Amino acid sequence: MEFSDQLTCDAGAAAAAIDDILRVDQSPAQRLRDAMIYATMSGGKRLRAALVLGAARLSDDAGDPSGALRVAAALEMLHAYSLVHDDRPAMDDAATRRSKPSCHLAFDEATAILAGDALQTMAFDILADGRTHSDPAVQIRLVAALAGASGLAGMAGGQMLDLQAETRQLDLTEVTEMQSMKTGALIQCAAICGGIVGGADARLLDALGTFSRDLGLAFQIADDLLDYDGDAATLGKPAGQDAERGKGSFVSLMGADQARTTAHRLIDDALAVLTPWPQAGYLEYLATFAIARNS
């Protein structure tokens, strides 16, 4: 199978897993369920899911693929929660997401808050479930990895630094730290969790962590470049918001040409880490895709 076809297949499988989980879970709060489905089933690259599945397949003992799919669903739910909250007026105040009204506009702000909260807690519920992995020790490792990536030292902390960047100019070191937390931590977590659920040894897990760290930073630089010279119709969300808010970005601090050069260097570094694993072609494709995309 071509790598592009594999990415399409993985995205579809992850979406189906999310849909199954959300529709099977019993609750009388149907409006909340509808908002959660809206937030998670509106398309997207599913890069985090693909990283989970690619890392799991790279492991020596991939085991039952249904477990990796559940981990992929959990990572995508956590990511969707962050987007729902980021789009709200108190954060980025974005009216659209993937060419559709943001969740707080499609429903209402209170429902969007609850949808984000429920998606976040459901992600951890999935990782702690025996259907994801039968070994409680593996469940704990998965939960701990996602907690570290999404909390104070990860995504939430990075979002706080991003909000503070609206009132003072960050230098390149500070922007790198902020984006490594806000965006990079969850991307790195996806690759590591894929390795964990797939039974990767310590050497491969270390390589996956280094690979995805560089990938996460390159991905964010590509995002900054798209925000700088992309258009809202292609992106499916407002363009140029960082500049309007006066936030420091890789493009504003480095210039577009140097930012592109840096993104390519980071991807080269990421690919070099996987050299001992000749079967890592899919992860290498994902790394290249991360900076070649147009949305």
pLDDT in tens, 54-91: 999 998 655 568 999 999 999 999 999 999 999 999 99
Residue 20 pLDDT more than 90? yes
Please tell me the predicted confidence (pLDDT) of residue 3: 95
Take residue 220 and report the two structure tokens written for it.
Answer: 């964010």
Provide mean pLDDT across the span 223-238: 72
Phi-psi region of 98 (alpha: psi -120 to 50; beta: other; left: phi over 0): left
Which run of H or of E encompasses 41?
Answer: none
Burial state string for 149-186 with b = 16 or more CB within 10 A and e = fewer than 16: bbeeebbbbbbebbeebeeeebeeebbbebbbbbbbbb
Res. 222: pLDDT tops 60: yes
148/188 Cα distance (integer angstroms):
11
What would the pLDDT profile of 187-210 be if each residue is shown by its tens digit?
999 999 999 999 999 999 999 999
Which pLDDT belongs to residue 166?
87
Looking at the chain, the whole-number percentage of residues with pLDDT higher than 90 is 82
In this predicted structure, which of 96-100, 221-225, 228-232 has the lowest mean pLDDT? 228-232
Q: How far apart are CA 143 and CA 145, in angstroms?
A: 5
Section 144-163 average pLDDT:
96
Nearest to 196 by CA among 157, 239, 149: 149
pLDDT of residue 237: 55
Question: Considering just the CA atoms, what is the radius of gyration of the chain in Å?
Answer: 18
Which tokens go with 41? 């089933």
How many residues are given for the chain? 295
136 CB-near residues (< 8 Å, 6+ apart)? none
CA dihedral of residues 39, 41, 46, 50 (deg, nearest 10): 130
What is the DSSP code string of 257-287?
HHHHHHHHHHHHHHHHHTTT-TT-HHHHHHH
Mean pLDDT of 236-258: 75
Rounded Cα distance between 231 and 239, Å, is: 6
The pLDDT value recorded for residue 234 is 57
What pLDDT does 63 receive?
A: 55
| Rounded-to-integer distance, Cα 207 and Cα 219, Å | 18
CA atoms within a 13 Å half-sphere pointing along the CA-CB vector of 31? 10
pLDDT at 84: 97
- Average pLDDT for the chain: 92
What the block records as the tokens of 128 is: 């702690």
